[in-house]
Amino acid sequence: MVNAIPSVIFITFCALPIALHYFINRKYKKLLANLNLKDEDYYHQCLFIDMKNFKCKQHLINKDECCDHCSYNHLKTLINFISSAKLSICLCMYTLTLKQINVELIKAHKRGVNLRIITDQVMLRTETAKFNFAKLKDNGIPFKVQPSDHSMMHHKFCLIDKDDKSSAKMFFGTMNLTGQGLVSNFENVILTNNRNMIERFSQEFEELWGDF
CATH number where 102 lies? 3.30.870.10
163 and 123 in a common domain = yes
73 has pLDDT over 80: yes
Is the separation of the CB atoms in 25 and 31 below 8 Å? no
Do 4 and 25 belong to one domain? yes
Instruction: State the pLDDT at residue 22.
Output: 59
Torsion region of 118: left, alpha or beta (phi above 0 gives left; psi -120 to 50 gives alpha): beta
Asked whether residue 25 falls in the same domain as residue 114, the answer is no
Same domain (yes/no): 53, 154: yes
25 lies in the same domain as 108? no
The separation between CA 174 and the C-alpha centre of its own chain, rounded to angstroms, equals 12
**For the chain, how many structural domains are there in total?**
2
One domain for residues 179 and 75: yes
Least confident of 63-67, 111-115, 149-153: 63-67
CA 55 to chain centre: 26
**Average pLDDT of the segment spanning 102-121:** 98
- Please check whether residues 11 and 50 belong to one and the same domain: no
What local confidence, expressed as pLDDT, does residue 3 receive? 58
- Residue 172's φ and ψ, nearest 5 degrees, are -155, 170
Q: Assess whether 58 and 26 both reside in one domain.
A: no
Question: Which residue range(s) make up the domain with 34?
Answer: 1-41
Same domain, 156 and 171: yes
Looking at residues 38-45, what average pLDDT do you find? 77
> Distances in Å between the alpha carbon of 135 and those of 64, 111, 132, 144?
26, 16, 5, 15
Confidence of residue 41 (pLDDT cuts 50, 70, 90): confident
Co-location of 93 and 172 in the same domain: yes
The DSSP symbol for 63 reads: T
Is the same domain home to 87 and 178?
Answer: yes
- Residue 43 — φ and ψ, nearest 5°? -130, 165
Residues 27 and 53 in one domain: no
Residue 103 has pLDDT above 70, yes or no: yes
User: Which letter, b or e, does each residue of 147-159 get, where b requires 16 or more Cβ atoms within 10 Å of its Cβ?
Assistant: eeeeeebebbbbb
38 vs 178, which has greater pLDDT? 178
Which amino acid is present at 176?
Answer: N
Structure-model confidence comparison of residues 116 and 39, the more confident one? 116
Give residue 149's pLDDT: 87
